Amino acid sequence: MLPRFCNRVWRRGTVVKLERRVKCSTIASGYTTFAERERCILTNARESKQGYKQIRFCSHNGAVKGPLTPLTYEQVCDETLESLAEYFEILVEEAVNLKAADVSYSDGVLTVKFGIPHGTYVINRQTPNLQIWLSSPISGPKRYDFHDGHWVYRHDGISLHKLLNQEIPSIVNQDVDFFRCAYSGSNK
């Protein structure tokens, strides 16, 4: 089994370094999701009007190699989609030109609606095939297999994260780095 550091943060250890230390409150159960922690970081940075660093969304980037078991697939897929959802939320929130954009993630389906003329991206798990599927308004549908710690489209060898790095900057009008997300295959 994979360590679950990516979506659980120990309650007493949720201290984030900005220009000064900011303590982020967490839910009462003792754990919080990584997305809640990241949202807290950004909120505190904006409220204090201090600069903040974009941090990795997962510390176990590429920790799994080789073929996936169904259990490992579920964990890797969840961490990948959750980190992508959180990063898309940040990009959409910061994009001045995307007033009507919307990001939703539920039951293994991530939907990013950029509005007209950009279209909608859908990234979802495909459990029977142990794949992640992408529907892009720019490059069309693709099916990604997990290989050597990242999701790769076997027909062209381009990873999911690399494709997103190529397509999304022109939509959000800013630089992006999807390699900071879980299982991108990059150790940046």
Domain ranges of the chain: 9-47, 70-180
CATH of span 70-180: 3.30.920.10
pLDDT tens-place string over residues 130-158: 999 999 999 999 999 998 889 999 999 99
pLDDT at residue 81 in the model = 96
- pLDDT at 157 (0 to 100): 93
pLDDT of 7 reads: 37
- Pick the closest to residue 71 from 173, 1, 172, 152 (CA basis): 1
Tell me the mean pLDDT per 10 residues along the chain, length 188. 35 30 39 50 49 42 66 93 95 86 94 91 95 95 92 94 94 92 77
Angle between helices 70-94 and 34-47 (to 10 degrees): 20
The pLDDT value recorded for residue 15 is: 31
pLDDT of residue 115: 83
> In the prediction, which pLDDT does 60 show?
45
pLDDT of residue 68: 80
Q: Which amino acid is present at 76? A: V
